[in-house]
Amino acid sequence: MTKHVPLEKHPENPGRIKVLVDRLDKQGFRVEYVSRNVDVQEAQKIASRIHARGYIQYLEKLSRYNYSIVDEDTYLTIDSMELAYTTFQTSYELALSLNEPVFYVSRPPGHHAGRGGKAMRAPSQGFCLLNNAGATVLGFKDRGLTRIAIIDFDVHHGNGTMEIFYDEKILQVDLHQHPDTLYPYTGYPFEIGEGEGYGFKANLVFNPFTGDDVYLRVLSMVQELLEGFNPEALVVSAGFDGFLNDGLSDLRLTEASYEALGRLIRGLEAPTLIILEGGYSVGLTRGVESFLNGLTGREVNYAASKTLRATEVEEIVRINEKTILKIRKKAIG
Ligand SMILES: [Zn+2]
């Protein structure tokens, strides 16, 4: 985790992992450190199942230099690919073997990386190199599991993951700040998949200043949807950047929402890999801690924050309810 270091100040840096792990240590969560050497050829083989070969070659080429800029948000250093492959391959291998929820504290994040890098016309690939959630799906598939669900609760739309599986019968629930108001400006409610994947994609959107009150109402509908789908395996893109004042978004989520997310995932009782996506300051401490309290069934009562624009509350709930009802018909019947 000490690799892939930005030259200048950048929100995605090794310090994130230290802040997060220190907090978990203090709270008495068991943190297991994994050290491994990546098999680059093997990782490339797996990566080429969801990324274009040309894209992987492009990243390889950039990584010969000490420091490169992939785009305005995304940097690449001489050891970045080693870390990206390690995270990618470890996600795949964990999915092959795990039977209970595992929270894989890893970087760089991956959910903005599509088949060829930038996905769904996003302006950049938002700190992401290889799609780790995608690798996890492949791992679950390779052990013969077919009813797979992905929950992405990073505050930004998981456009890379959405693009990669858009025409597959994988249930994807992506909760994010409304694309009119936040990067990557993708993931509208009307986008519900295509081909085999039609009706399996829920883009749930939240206006700026949404608080726990609204988020929790939508989460209870998400829970019903996922329970009805009854996944054999679950992939979670866990971003904690929707936490109030984490820095990169305008949502006002606090412990109450993250605890509820953890509890929801716990209740599904499926083999689950939770991968770290975003989260840059307070989300990595208070957000992660409350999420894990929910995931591990610790009883804590958190007060719910309120949505600032009260007049928008019912509208936000209604838009997302409509999406979930549409998906319900197709994905559950
Ligand atoms: Zn994010």
- Would 11 be classed as within a structural domain? no
- Would 326 be classed as within a structural domain? yes
Query: Residue 224 belongs to a domain with what CATH number?
Result: 3.40.800.20
How many Å lie between the centroid of ligand 1 and the Cα of residue 139? 24
The CA distance from 317 to 260, in Å, is: 17
How many Å lie between the centroid of ligand 1 and the Cα of residue 333? 32
How many Å lie between the centroid of ligand 1 and the Cα of residue 176? 9
Contact 100/83 with Cβ under 8 angstroms? no
- Would 247 be classed as within a structural domain? yes
Residue 34 is predicted with a pLDDT of: 84
- Would 211 be classed as within a structural domain? yes
How many Å lie between the centroid of ligand 1 and the Cα of residue 178? 13
- Would 142 be classed as within a structural domain? yes
112 annotated active-site: yes
Domain count, the chain: 1
Summarize pLDDT for 2-45 with one digit per residue, the tens: 899 999 999 999 999 999 999 999 999 989 998 888 999 999 99
Q: Which residues of the chain have pLDDT under 50?
A: none
**DSSP state, 34?**
-
How many Å lie between the centroid of ligand 1 and the Cα of residue 36? 27
How many Å lie between the centroid of ligand 1 and the Cα of residue 187? 13
How many Å lie between the centroid of ligand 1 and the Cα of residue 253? 14
- Would 6 be classed as within a structural domain? no
Q: Which of 48, 149, 34 is nearest to 93 (CA)?
A: 34
CB atoms within 10 A of CB 304: 18
Residue 315 is predicted with a pLDDT of: 97
- Cα 158-128-244 angle, rounded to 5 deg: 60
- Would 8 be classed as within a structural domain? no
How many Å lie between the centroid of ligand 1 and the Cα of residue 245? 13
Residue 286 is predicted with a pLDDT of: 98
Set 4, 51, 111, 112: catalytic member: 112
Torsion of CA 165, 166, 172, 178, to 10 degrees: 130
Residue 283 is predicted with a pLDDT of: 98
Crossing angle of helices 313-331 and 212-229, rounded to 10°: 10
- Would 182 be classed as within a structural domain? yes
Residue 35 is predicted with a pLDDT of: 81
How many Å lie between the centroid of ligand 1 and the Cα of residue 159? 11
**Could you tell me which residues come within 8 angstroms of residue 5 by beta carbon, excluding any fewer than 6 positions away?**
13, 14, 77
How many Å lie between the centroid of ligand 1 and the Cα of residue 305? 20
Residue 37 is predicted with a pLDDT of: 86
Residue 44 backbone phi and psi in degrees, to 5: -65, -40
Task: Note down the domain range covering 106.
Answer: 16-331
